[in-house]
Amino acid sequence: MKSLIVYSSQSENTKKLADTIYKNLEGEKDIFPVDAAPSTKGYDLTFVGFWLMAGKPDPKSSEFLTKLGKDDRLFLFATHGAKAGSDHVKNAVAHATGLTNGSYIAGVFTCQGEVNPKVLEKVKQKPEPPVWIGDADQAVGHPNEDDLIALKKMITEL
Ligand SMILES: Cc1cc2nc3c(=O)[nH]c(=O)nc-3n(C[C@H](O)[C@H](O)[C@H](O)COP(=O)(O)O)c2cc1C
């Protein structure tokens, strides 16, 4: 099996997930930041990693997802300030899936990712801070060892 890993990461959280996937994947594999992503043609499975921004995949990942079609089998992975399993995250994953042109989603993994403290302070001071900010304190230290172990387990069971 030939796999492609494409990720976007501003503060390295999502990159940690991408590197963990790369390390634990069997078979032929390539890894690229989204800016340098090649065509998915010839790959059996494409892992797409993004971070959440305004409740959606970050803009670069969103653009990449729109280029994918019915022939692409995807594994989505993401980090976010919001609590794992929250509606905020579920909606964002659904949004990511909807950006593709009918790609098959073979798996999804998400976990919290520590929010850049400067961004966090700024967002907290907004007159109406977004709901996810209430979970951001619990994101400190994530992705942690347990997150990476859980991801590794999913990858080795694929
Ligand atoms: C500008 C900005 C907007 C963000 N918006 C959201 C959001 O809407 N929902 C959320 O859960 N987390 C949000 N976050 C938190 C990031 O998604 C989270 O910290 C993520 O792990 C960052 O990933 P990275 O280190 O790979 O860049 C935001 C962070 C930034 C910097």
Q: Where are the domains of the chain?
A: 2-156
pLDDT value at residue 35: 98
pLDDT of residue 15: 98
| pTM (two decimals) | 0.98
Q: How far is the CA of 81 from the centre of ligand 1 (A)?
A: 6
134 lines ligand 1 (CB under 6 A): no
The Å distance, Cα 22 to ligand 1 centre, comes to 22
Q: How far apart are CA 146 and CA 125, in angstroms?
A: 31
Nearest atom of ligand 1 to the alpha carbon of 143: 21
Q: Is the CB of 49 under 6 A from ligand 1?
A: no
With a cut of 70, list the residues of the chain below it in pLDDT.
none
Per-residue model confidence (pLDDT) at position 94: 98
Question: What pLDDT, on a 0 to 100 scale, did the predictor assign at position 6?
Answer: 99
> How far from 57 is each of 25, 44, 146, 157, CA to CA, in Å?
24, 23, 23, 26
* CATH homologous superfamily for the domain 2-156: Flavodoxin domain (3.40.50.360)
CA angle 145-150-60, nearest 5°?
A: 85
For residue 84, give both structure tokens. Answer: 């794992």
